Amino acid sequence: MNNNRSKVAIIGAGFVGASTAFALAMKQLVNEMVIIDVDRNKAAGEAMDINHGLPFIGQMNIYDGDYSDCADCDAIIITAGVNRKPGETRIDLAKKNVSIAKEVTTNIMKYYTRGVILVVSNPVDILTYKVQKWSGLPNGRVLGTGTVLDSSRFRYLLSEKLDVDVKNVHGYIIGEHGETQLPFWSATHIAGKNISEYFNDPAYGITEADKLSIVENVKSAGAGIIKNKGATYYAIAVSVNTLLESLLKNQNTIRTVSSVIDNKFGIDDVALSLPSVLNQNGVKKVMDLNMTDEELSLLHHSADQLKLILEEVKDI
């Protein structure tokens, strides 16, 4: 991809879509950005608001549009969807957002010419799988944010516990972006030392209970933020922009994005998150990494739970 003509479309002008657009403008990743929403006035307002700050940021072409503007995009970001309401089950939410995603995908593909489709809406693994199938695009061209934010939360909490710079903490949350996600402890390290060496070092005073607490706090982080402020959008916007940079600049970065897994680790025909190499075409490959028997068992459980949800929405 040539950044001299880079173009991105954001589908959905809600909290996540608008925050993503703002973060993208601040980072000056693209020359052209179109915001598309069923409420055209909302999309227009978001574009106008960001445009008014451009004299302090840099020149970009930011505007509201329709699905025809998805043509010639380097990346199309799907943030459209509804939030889970009190009393609704995960299946209820999945059915609603799968229906929305199907309509969005149909409209995108009427005008699609090239580029990666990045799914942000939840349940992200289910939607990534469905969009991949509906679009008919090559495997890996459609990917989801998956556990990229969960992995960031994981690294942050570890850095806080160990009192080290978060940039020096390397670790992954894998599997579902949801209840069955799991920490990839055997691949977590700091300064070349596996995390187990820190846990076994009395100088750090970290117990097994601390490990469990960190994992639970990663899982519950989103719910905690929603309870306090109503929605989560800043960290996911940063996560999306980080992924976009890898994609647009063809960086071959490793991130835990969600993609349709094709016979990897004994898992097939389901979308979930594993450390994957990203380039301009999407997911270049899913990494071959050694897992413990326990990690592999938990990953299979995560895949099985996602397949149960896929079964519930198979006719949509």
Catalytic residue annotation: 177
H-only helix segments in 65-207: 90-111, 124-135, 148-162, 195-199
Report the alpha-carbon distance of residue 85 to residue 98 in Å, rounded: 16
| Helix pair angle (234-248, 148-162), 10° resolution | 110
Read out DSSP for 180-206? T-EE-GGG-EETTEEHHHHHT-TTT--
Considering Cα of 170, then 174, then 176, then 179, what sign does the dihedral take? negative
Identify the three-state secondary structure at position 245. Answer: helix
193 exposed, middle or buried (CB, 10 Å; 0-12, 13-18, 19+)? exposed
Report the alpha-carbon distance of residue 229 to residue 214 in Å, rounded: 22
**Contacts of residue 50, Cβ cutoff 8 Å, sequence gap at least 6:** 21, 22, 25, 62
- CB of 268 closer than 8 Å to CB of 259: no
Specify which residues 261 forms β-bridges with: 270
